[in-house]
Amino acid sequence: YFKDEPYGAAGKTGTSESYKNGVMSWDLSFAGYAPFDNPEIAIAVIVPNAYRDGYAQPHSAANIISQRVFRTFFELKEK
């Protein structure tokens, strides 16, 4: 999601189990910063209940949200 972006982000994705009313679901996360060599922005994104009861949001939801945040930041910076 970030390899072709001009700002050069670095970060880490993650998953964790969570339970609500005895039903397990998966939470997705991404924490990162950009540009990696001289950071101007750091973010953390958590997508709760991304996988539950056999129904899943895209596994990359946290990455997509992060990419949009980074893009918006650098676009606004140019104005």
What's the whole-number mean pLDDT along residues 19-39?
91
Model pTM above 0.85:
no
Instruction: Identify the sign of the CA torsion 64, 32, 3, 68.
Output: positive
What's the whole-number mean pLDDT along residues 1-6?
86
What is the tens place of the pLDDT at every residue in 41-65? 999 999 988 875 555 555 688 999 9
Hey, what are 19's tokens? 């339970």
Is 15 a residue whose pLDDT tops 80?
Answer: yes
- Domain limits, the chain: 10-78
Report pLDDT for 52.
58
